[in-house]
Chain A
Amino acid sequence: MDLQTVWFILIGILFTGFFLLEGFDYGVGILLLFLGKDDIDRRLIINSIGPVWDGNEVWLITAGAAMFAAFANWYATMFSGFYLALVLMLLALIVRGIAFEFRSKDERPAWRTLWDWMIFVGSLVPALLWGVAFANVVRGVPIDAEMQYVGGFWNLLNPYALLAGLAAVSAFALHGATFLGLKTKDELLERAEKAAAWLWLPTVVLVLAAMIAGIFATDIFSQRGALLWVVAAAAFVALLAAGWFIRARRHGWAFIMSSLTIALTCITVALGLYPRLMVSSLNPEWNLTIYNASSSEYTLRVMGIIVLIFLPIVLLYQGWSYWVFRKRIGREDELEY
């Protein structure tokens, strides 16, 4: 396996980790207004992800920085090409981050309601935009011979990408609901269970629709032969299983299945994309690939060694932090946020 492929896999792991972890943060944020009937409910919901959301977001920062280090042309083309979409995403992530920290530091209901809405919008917008962004990456966008994006902002909002965006929102909301199923108790838990059950069918429909649309709108299903179809089917089966476990009130399994749905979907996209990084809709010659976008062998090797040393350490202490905060939280607990 060449170094470029190793880095493709590493960045794939980083994005998968990001969607897996931040996915339920987005979902919890989206559900906040619907499940939190009073202030304490809302605080409980926010506190369920309180200790971990920031660490989860670092997966994105690391993925972005890894793109810069390993495939600078990818980082440059995608981030400058998707400029306005990224500005919207950054604005959303900024208000969301501040909202978590500031919301409960003032008692006035108007202050808290304002920040609750910020958490909702700040979770919904990135969830939608990530679906839109990756759908466009695989569908293909106008990239010229100089690796420059030459489409506009509206070009990104095609029906397939919007469908994928909605599927992402729905899947993350479901993932958030199964996460709350693990972290809450009593009445809030019942509401989280109901939300998960309610969200399941729309998610199945949207994910299936996005997959079928993907067969026509992209070429990823013709890339890896049977392997890709098996992984995609497994993602869908995991989603179906999630529905069964939600109804059976098996919280742990429901969460594992919604996690598998997201992870396997990421792997499907990665398998279909490889060895490309961005598809050019103008000319296949102008695709960004792991070879024409790559850093030098030296940089890939040095950075690869560093990542292989530190990523397991990160997993270890992040895992420990999940262990520390493994308990369900309820109205009797002292809340920090």
Chain B
Amino acid sequence: MDALIVSRLQFATTTVYHFFFVPLTLGLSILVAIMETWYVRTGDEVYKKMTKFWGKLFLINFAMGVVTGLVQEFQFGMNWSEYSRFVGDVFGAPLALDALVAFFLESTFLGIWIFGWDRVPKAVHAGAMWAVAFGAHVSALWIVVANSFMHEPVGYVLREGRAEMVDFWALAANPHVWQQYPHIVLAGATTAGMFVLGISAYHLAKKSSGREVWRRSFMIAAVTALTGSVLVGVVGHSQGQHMFKTQPMKMAAAEAHWETEQPADLSLFTISDEEARREVFAIKLPAMMSLLTCNNLTCEIPGINEIQAEYEQTYGPGNYIPPVTLVFWSFRVMVFAGLAMIAVASVAVFLALKKWLDRYPRLLLLLVWMIPLPYLANTGGWLLTEVGRQPWIVFGLMRTEAGVSVSVSGGMAIFSLVAFVLLYGAAMAAAVYLLSKYGRKGVPGESETESPSDESESALAAAN
């Protein structure tokens, strides 16, 4: 088979897989740091138990993120050598910064956090988790800076057949970065919120020991998930408007918007014939796409076919249309999962405010099954962004097929793809096994005497 298609498949697989773990690392690092800070400030043992419990799950997840991140760092050179030569001058810089400024910080302070419980003062220990959280977020920033160059190249000139950096600050100030980065940070918070919410709800429903641990975790998680999921939508809306201006083809594909319309309708469900470049069947809300895109009901929105004709003028003959059906459904999976999370988190906040955490155990158990929602949204968003960029590897500058390695054969790429998929599958099984084992296990050394009644709950709330 062709090395190009296998390399693309491998990049997509390893990246999506890596991104299963990244958002939880981002969000949970902050939640654990907050819990531990409260423990240090109040001396309340419940917060220590929370820190230890969620910290353990954090570590299992973190390890997966680290080892799959290794592949990401090497893969550009391995499978995309011509891309690496073309962009190295620009793209290598944020990756190097990422390693130097963020990875060292994260890994060193996580070591201190894991092994330092009795070796460093409490405040320093909590500080170590803050350093991990800070490192994780700085790391995400530099990755987004690098990634944004592929979508919206800035701060460079073309010289001797490659992109050369001429303005480092322009690279960091890329508008695309400041659309993507808040979206990813908030998605991380939402993921952590939904994750902690589901597991806390499980223990509340099962009446596990250490009720106070689960109650407080539930509260923090519900608030985090609701705030995160609402804001992620707000930011996402602004991102859509930005994308419409800078990558109209991606936006048109995300809406399966084949023909130019004024005003443009918003599709809820579209079946496209990608060969014939037309819509076969669609359910649409009139003028809503115009509203979402330009804040009015009348603007014209160019369709895929018109943009294709334009790009042929600009970039020469060729197919500039990404895989529309995949992009369209990735977008919808993300949005629907996001809306579902807003609804779920609202219910959770409502239950928490009403102090009804013991009233509907079945409803609480349902929250466990909501944990996959953020993962669906994260994956959908990732596919939308990257598949929607096709056929470009760097928008407007280099097409994907020009970036693939010359010295890697199809057979070699298949070998590595199969090896990574098998190993990642086994690793995922082990990680899910451990996460569910420790997720279910509960907290150690908790007395069973706590009364689960609402009075004690309000008494504790008052005491705090």
Binding site for B on A (CB under 8 A): 47, 50-52, 54-55, 57-58, 61-62, 64-73, 75-81, 83-84, 86-87, 90-91, 93-95, 97-98, 100-102, 105-106, 146-150, 153, 295-296, 298-299, 302-303, 306-307, 310-311, 314, 317-318, 321, 324-325, 334, 336
Contact = CB atoms under 8 A, between A and B. Distances in A.
Contacts of A298: 164-166
Nearest to A115: B430
A311 B97 CA distance: 11
Contacts of B420: 87, 91
A69 B149 CA distance: 14
B15 interface: no
A54 B111 contact: yes
Task: Point out which of B92, B97, B434 has the most chain A C-beta atoms below 10 A from its C-beta.
Answer: B92
A318 B420 CA distance: 31
B81 interface: yes
B85 A72 contact: yes
Interface in B100-128: 100-101, 103-105, 107-112, 114-116, 118-120
Contact of B423 (A91, A303, A306): A91
Helix, strand, loop or mixed for chain A's interface? helix
Complex A-B, nearest 5 residue pairs according to Cβ-Cβ distance, in ascending order: A72-B88, A79-B77, A69-B92, A68-B92, A101-B63
B186 to A, nearest CB: 27
Contacts of B438: 105
Interface string B385-415: 0000000000000000000011110001001
B99 A65 contact: yes
Given A98-B64, A324-B112, A66 B165 contact: no
B423 A95 contact: yes
Contacts of B92: 65-70, 72, 75, 295, 299
Given A83-B407, A87-B416, 10 more contacts: A68-B91, A72-B89, A79-B84, A80-B78, A94-B423, A97-B67, A98-B64, A306-B97, A317-B104, A336-B114
Contacts, number: 228
Interface of B: 59-60, 62-64, 66-71, 73-74, 76-79, 81-82, 84-85, 87-93, 95-101, 103-105, 107-112, 114-116, 118-120, 159, 162, 164-166, 168, 405-408, 412, 415-416, 419-420, 423, 427, 430-431, 434, 437-438
B409 to A, nearest CB: 9
Contacts of A72: 84-85, 87-89, 92, 162
19 contacts: A55-B111, A58-B107, A65-B98, A68-B95, A72-B92, A75-B84, A76-B84, A83-B412, A100-B63, A102-B431, A102-B434, A105-B434, A146-B406, A295-B88, A299-B164, A307-B96, A310-B101, A311-B100, A325-B111
A72 B160 CA distance: 14
Contacts of B114: 50-51, 336
A79 B81 contact: yes
Contacts of A302: 93, 165, 168
Contacts of B70: 57, 61, 90, 93-94, 97
B406 A80 contact: yes
Contacts of B82: 76
B94 to A, nearest CB: 9
Contacts of A148: 406-407
Contacts of A71: 88
B107 A76 contact: no
Contact of B108 (A69, A146, A317): A317
B104 A83 contact: no
B430 A54 contact: no
B111 A50 contact: yes
A50 B115 contact: yes
A325 to B, nearest CB: 6
Contacts of B406: 80, 146, 148
Given A62-B99, A94-B67, A317-B108, A87 B419 contact: yes
